[in-house]
Chains A and B, each alone.
Chain A
């Protein structure tokens, strides 16, 4: 699909019904609405530092919807759209970004693992999860995400190499958004593409337009089919970080705004919208109704998350499978002192 939403019919995956395309657009819009809400909550001090996914929705939604029921995913810190498309309860997601470990208690049916912050360190877990699927004969694939910057880490190379040797059902998706905080893709690697890093590991490689949700869907769908036949792969999705790295970042310090303008014209949402409008299955009314519904779901999630009362005792009771006596003593002391919080009436 090109920037005007015109599709190459020969390449178009036949299983993509109009309804499935509408789902894709809906989840992409939902993800963008979530980002907008998170940025506003963060500004109001109601959320911790947040990494928006604006501009990267096609990579996230295309890949999430290509997964089969029961497939597993391993994100870094930016795949909010993947969580949404896999049915993550919004209040749980908000709890993470409000700064509570309870946000990591992801319901099993989502099939996702918690957000991981140390760049690329989640990839070896993906390899292990994939090895377990093979060993336990579940028939499921594992999709693990990493950024362009993350492909410089040893963990990235080690995981690809391991996957190749072990022939495990793993798909690594490089969400190449062109920037690693202030470092552009060109300064991250002298390799012509990031996908080609997988060639030396003997796994399948592919580079796709990460702003074309149909292309991403198709590539991931095929990669998953290969994966369950024990052919791992790495897939580079070329997309763009349209916003800041995180709410703690100021891109005007290092990035030419003209570059952002160019990528705005390639907005993944606009593209799919054009196609669906041309097909006659999407219009302003449908978009307004969808926006209304997302707003309601997001607001409900925020409301529920904001009712959450943190229980500091949970810090102590979730460290080991049993309560060691020395930790119990620390807990007792903390509790006896009200966790050293200021009491009413104290100065």
Chain B
């Protein structure tokens, strides 16, 4: 079927609810309204309000109760309406979802998928555009996934539903309806923990994910540069092998993400490259990211999010070294 990311995710949830009778989908406005982005549209009508339901407006109990359900034989798929509101339940994710397995030496596990829209570029009010992937990656114990296209979105979500881990599933708002793609109707998996080499190349490795994937693709195409593009898809745990193999081949590494520069995923990736492949580099590693400040109000966002011009300038600089 030809579908956008919203359709692909809806189809994945449909398959999961159908396959796993203990799976439930819930959150704020996910029922009748079908979610503010319509990702859960039609699911309540199909699966009943016992399996697809609205909760009170309270993120901490949504996430904390998810943990309880997950430890008791259910498979919860909570939706947090926007990533900026997930901080209300941050305690539950960092202190508990990330730790139950280790604190009980595997006796208790927290299989669940926490879905939330991330990143900006769509002119929304404050707190609707955060890119929080590193907050969840840093603690350890949470799998952090972020698709950049409909095919990966569906496959990653179905894969997550077959795992025994708490998966933070970040859905870039800007990509929800940006483009359509041929996506299988039936169930399939996309491996979690494995980056995708979107385009092979010899001269430069660009490591990216989420909203920046289409931007990087566009620039590379326009410049007709022989760059390798890697879409991480899973941010934590990192697929270091794919990154290092590529960088060793091309001798140049650039990391592009929408989240802030300082202490971002780019820093982690650059450090690993420095530790394990520095003598194979022809130029210093470069990072392209948003500036090191909180996501601005919508009137300023175009000055903030890395765009094609910024990526293009960075590539010019890197290739001149």
- Closest beta carbon of chain B to A227's beta carbon, Å: 26
- Are the C-beta atoms of B57 and A180 separated by less than 8 Å? yes
Tell me the residues in window 179-234 of chain A with beta carbons closer than 8 Å to chain B beta carbons: 180-183, 187-189
CA distance A342 to B312 in the complex (A): 12
Kindly name the residue among B31, B57, B300 whose own CB sees the greatest number of chain A CB atoms within 10 A.
Answer: B57
Asked if A341 is an interface residue, CB under 8 A from chain B, the answer is yes
With both beta carbons as reference points, the residue of chain B lying nearest to A318 in the complex is identified as B293
**Interface range, B side:** 35 or more
Asked if B58 is an interface residue, CB under 8 A from chain A, the answer is yes
Asked if B29 is an interface residue, CB under 8 A from chain A, the answer is yes
CA distance A149 to B304 in the complex (A): 32
**Interface range, A side:** 35 or more
- Are the C-beta atoms of A254 and B291 separated by less than 8 Å? no
Tell me the residues in window 279-314 of chain B with beta carbons closer than 8 Å to chain A beta carbons: 291-294, 296-300, 302-304, 306-307, 309-310, 313
- Are the C-beta atoms of B298 and A99 separated by less than 8 Å? yes
Chain A residues within an 8 Å CB radius of B231: none
- Are the C-beta atoms of A182 and B88 separated by less than 8 Å? no
Tell me the residues in window 3-62 of chain B with beta carbons closer than 8 Å to chain A beta carbons: 28-29, 31-34, 36, 54, 56-61
With both beta carbons as reference points, the residue of chain A lying nearest to B60 in the complex is identified as A154
Asked if B218 is an interface residue, CB under 8 A from chain A, the answer is no
Binary per-residue interface labels of chain B (84-106) against chain A in the complex, 1 for a CB within 8 Å, 0 otherwise: 11011000000000000000000
- Are the C-beta atoms of B85 and A183 separated by less than 8 Å? no
Chain B residues within an 8 Å CB radius of A99: 123, 297-300
With both beta carbons as reference points, the residue of chain B lying nearest to A95 in the complex is identified as B299
Chain A residues within an 8 Å CB radius of B292: 326-327, 330
CA distance A327 to B297 in the complex (A): 19
Chain A residues within an 8 Å CB radius of B309: 337, 340-342
With both beta carbons as reference points, the residue of chain B lying nearest to A253 in the complex is identified as B33
- Specify the main secondary structure of chain B where it touches its partner: loop
Asked if A334 is an interface residue, CB under 8 A from chain B, the answer is yes
Segment from B124-132, B155-163, B199-207, B238-246 that makes contact with A: B124-132
Chain A residues within an 8 Å CB radius of B34: 253
CA distance A331 to B59 in the complex (A): 36
- Are the C-beta atoms of B57 and A315 separated by less than 8 Å? no
Partner of B32, one of A117, A149, A253: A253
- Are the C-beta atoms of A339 and B303 separated by less than 8 Å? yes
- Are the C-beta atoms of B125 and A117 separated by less than 8 Å? yes
- Closest beta carbon of chain B to A145's beta carbon, Å: 15
CA distance A65 to B262 in the complex (A): 46
- Closest beta carbon of chain B to A111's beta carbon, Å: 22
Query: Provided the pairs A181-B33, A188-B56, A315-B304 are in contact, do residues A117 and B261 lie with their beta carbons within 8 angstroms?
Result: no
CA distance A48 to B127 in the complex (A): 14
- Are the C-beta atoms of B88 and A153 separated by less than 8 Å? yes
Query: Provided the pairs A118-B88, A340-B310, A340-B313 are in contact, do residues A49 and B124 lie with their beta carbons within 8 angstroms?
Result: yes
Binary per-residue interface labels of chain A (120-156) against chain B in the complex, 1 for a CB within 8 Å, 0 otherwise: 0100000000000000000000000000011011110
With both beta carbons as reference points, the residue of chain A lying nearest to B305 in the complex is identified as A340
- Are the C-beta atoms of B299 and A149 separated by less than 8 Å? no
Chain B residues within an 8 Å CB radius of A188: 56-57
Asked if A316 is an interface residue, CB under 8 A from chain B, the answer is yes
Tell me the residues in window 291-344 of chain A with beta carbons closer than 8 Å to chain B beta carbons: 310, 312, 315-316, 319, 326-327, 330-331, 334, 337, 339-342
- Are the C-beta atoms of B56 and A152 separated by less than 8 Å? yes
With both beta carbons as reference points, the residue of chain A lying nearest to B85 in the complex is identified as A118
- Are the C-beta atoms of A310 and B299 separated by less than 8 Å? yes
- Are the C-beta atoms of B54 and A182 separated by less than 8 Å? yes
CA distance A79 to B67 in the complex (A): 36
Closest 9 CB pairs of A and B: A99-B299, A99-B298, A182-B33, A312-B303, A152-B56, A149-B57, A340-B310, A340-B309, A100-B299
- Complex A-B: 29 CB contacts under 8 Å: A48-B124, A99-B297, A99-B298, A99-B300, A100-B297, A101-B296, A117-B128, A118-B84, A118-B87, A119-B57, A119-B85, A149-B56, A153-B60, A153-B88, A154-B58, A183-B56, A187-B56, A189-B56, A253-B32, A310-B300, A312-B300, A315-B291, A315-B293, A315-B304, A316-B291, A326-B262, A334-B291, A340-B303, A341-B302
